[in-house]
């Protein structure tokens, strides 16, 4: 029998976590989503240890960030070494930055031949939208219901979720939002088996009704993350790209969370041969060290001249060192392949659980990014956000950290670091099954 890594000694939160959570609530605004009631202390690989010494298997990767595993020793070492040399040089060059750019370009398809470093995912969205407008000389951007591109102003304007926008209107003029193929809850009440992607036809209607004739481009996630890990049916993204190319629109793909092996390919765009003009990259690129980047066709990003894009922290030595070694680690440890293999095992067991559980309405995803959608009733599909929170607590009490997403807050995100082993996969699935049985 393999050695178990999860161990929770008593009720959660333990005394030290409880004290930290109370201190925190007194001083920092509590405007975040629901999380398991533990204070993290340290982590390694897929195992998180809380402030009371309890250990958990992590299915969150932070929020799909620590793809190479928590505190990978090679990443930690690289950060320690560079921190002793230089911490900020703004736009003056230091070798680590050119190395990072070379590394990033080396893993991108050849048509994306230029990159630029920023710090957060939202910043890359702001940059992509600005570049699409500047390059085309037009201002309208098509995006999708349920999209989440971040919380800065242009990013939330392109977004299709209520939370980030609430009370913050008007959003940026020229945002045209259209339905995304959330087939489990089709906005057209169509049958995905026979609809022939009706939602794509609707694009023409939406443009006819809403555009002033100034369409610049379109932004889309390969799968919708925050909306509930919603994967479009096979063939939908290529048909979307064909449609936008036919109209001469620029194409931004938001791979802030879907990249760096998450779906079982280095880039999610590889699955269906997409060829975007601009690619937004975040989260896994630094695997915990704050870093992000935009990659683009040279002639597209060339729309910005000297002095027209910069970021105080973008491409700083710490981030740059991380960007370089993360690529090396991914390659050396075959993490893309591991995501595919472990993901297949996880998905088949989650599908078995769906058969047995009255509450699992849908299981979807690929590689190590899967959504488990919880409902009160499989026939009515009424979302079950309360059960979702209960499941988060039950799982934590047994040694598994999970989080939730979804338009209705009822989707469990299954997204462990890509270093997860087969033994850890089974141990964590056993815990999940037990937690489910306690709902
Ligand atoms: C697809 C996508 N785009 C953009 C963002 C925004 O990234 P950040 O929170 O780093 O600004 C996120 C964050 O969750 C995301 O999932």
Q: Whose CA is nearest to atom 7 of ligand 1?
A: 121
Q: Whose CA is nearest to atom 8 of ligand 1?
A: 121
pLDDT band at 3 (very low <50, low <70, confident <90, very high): confident
Q: What is the pLDDT of residues 416-430, one digit of tens each?
A: 999 999 999 999 999
Task: Say whether pLDDT at 92 is over 90.
Answer: yes
pLDDT band at 152 (very low <50, low <70, confident <90, very high): very high
Residue list, ligand 1 pocket, CB within 6 Å: 63, 120-122, 125, 148-150, 221, 225-226, 254, 256-257, 282
List the one residue out of 129, 150, 155, 117 whose CA is nearest residue 294. Answer: 117
pLDDT of residue 68: 98
Task: Say whether pLDDT at 402 is over 80.
Answer: yes
pLDDT band at 274 (very low <50, low <70, confident <90, very high): very high
pLDDT of residue 118: 98
Query: What global pTM score does this model have?
Result: 0.98
Task: Say whether pLDDT at 109 is over 60.
Answer: yes
List the one residue out of 62, 35, 69, 240 whose CA is nearest residue 147. Answer: 240
Q: What is the pLDDT of residues 211-228, one digit of tens each?
A: 999 999 999 999 999 999
Q: Whose CA is nearest to atom 13 of ligand 1?
A: 150
Task: Say whether pLDDT at 404 is over 90.
Answer: yes
Task: Ligand 1, residue 147: give the atom nearest the CA.
Answer: 1
- Give me ligand 1 centre to Cα 393, in Å: 25
Chain-wide mean pLDDT for the chain? 97
pLDDT of residue 2: 64
Q: Whose CA is nearest to atom 3 of ligand 1?
A: 149
pLDDT of residue 72: 98
Q: What is the pLDDT of residues 19-65, one digit of tens each?
A: 999 999 999 999 999 999 999 999 999 999 999 999 999 999 999 99
Tokens of 206: 């939406």
Task: Say whether pLDDT at 316 is over 80.
Answer: yes
- Give me ligand 1 centre to Cα 364, in Å: 20
- Give me ligand 1 centre to Cα 160, in Å: 13
């Amino acid at each position: 029998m393999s050695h178990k890594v999860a161990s929770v000694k008593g009720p959660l939160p333990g005394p030290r976590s409880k004290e930290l959570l109370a201190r925190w609530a007194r001083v920092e605004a509590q405007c975040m989503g629901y999380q398991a009631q533990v204070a993290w202390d340290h982590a390694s690989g897929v195992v998180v240890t809380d402030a009371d010494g309890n250990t958990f298997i992590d299915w969150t990767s932070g929020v799909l960030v620590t793809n190479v595993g928590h505190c990978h020793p090679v990443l930690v070492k690289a950060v320690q070494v560079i921190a002793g040399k230089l911490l900020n040089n703004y736009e003056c060059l230091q070798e680590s930055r050119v190395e990072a750019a070379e590394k990033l370009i080396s893993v991108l398809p050849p048509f994306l031949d230029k990159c630029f470093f920023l710090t957060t995912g939202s910043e890359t969205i702001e940059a992509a939208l600005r570049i699409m407008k500047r390059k085309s000389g037009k201002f309208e951007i098509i995006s999708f219901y349920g999209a989440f591109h971040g919380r800065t102003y242009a990013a939330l304007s392109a977004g299709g979720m209520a939370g980030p926008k609430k009370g913050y209107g008007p959003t940026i003029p020229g945002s045209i939002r259209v339905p995304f193929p959330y087939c489990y809850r089709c906005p057209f009440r169509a049958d995905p088996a026979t609809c022939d992607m009706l939602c794509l036809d609707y694009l023409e209607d939406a443009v006819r009704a809403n555009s002033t004739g100034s369409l610049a481009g379109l932004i889309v996630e390969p799968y919708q993350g925050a909306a509930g890990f919603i994967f479009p049916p096979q063939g939908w993204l290529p048909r979307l790209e064909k449609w936008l190319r036919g109209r001469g629109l620029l194409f931004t793909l938001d791979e802030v969370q879907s990249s760096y092996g998450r779906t079982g390919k280095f880039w999610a765009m590889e699955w269906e041969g997409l060829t975007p003009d601009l690619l937004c990259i975040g989260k896994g690129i630094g695997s915990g060290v704050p870093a992000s980047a935009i990659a683009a066709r040279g002639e597209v990003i060339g729309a910005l001249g000297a002095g027209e894009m910069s970021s105080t922290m973008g491409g700083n030595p710490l981030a740059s060192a991380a960007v370089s070694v993360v690529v090396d680690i991914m390659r050396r440890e075959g993490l893309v392949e591991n995501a595919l293999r472990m993901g297949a095992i996880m998905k088949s067991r989650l599908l078995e659980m769906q058969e047995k559980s009255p509450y699992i309405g849908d299981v979807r995803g690929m590689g190590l990014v899967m959504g488990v959608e919880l409902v009160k009733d499989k026939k009515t599909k009424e979302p079950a956000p309360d059960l979702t929170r209960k499941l988060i607590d039950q799982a934590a009490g047994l040694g598994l950290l999970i989080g939730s997403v979804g338009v209705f807050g009822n989707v469990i995100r299954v997204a462990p670091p890509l270093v997860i082993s087969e033994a850890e996969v089974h141990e964590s699935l056993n815990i999940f099954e037990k937690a489910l049985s306690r709902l």
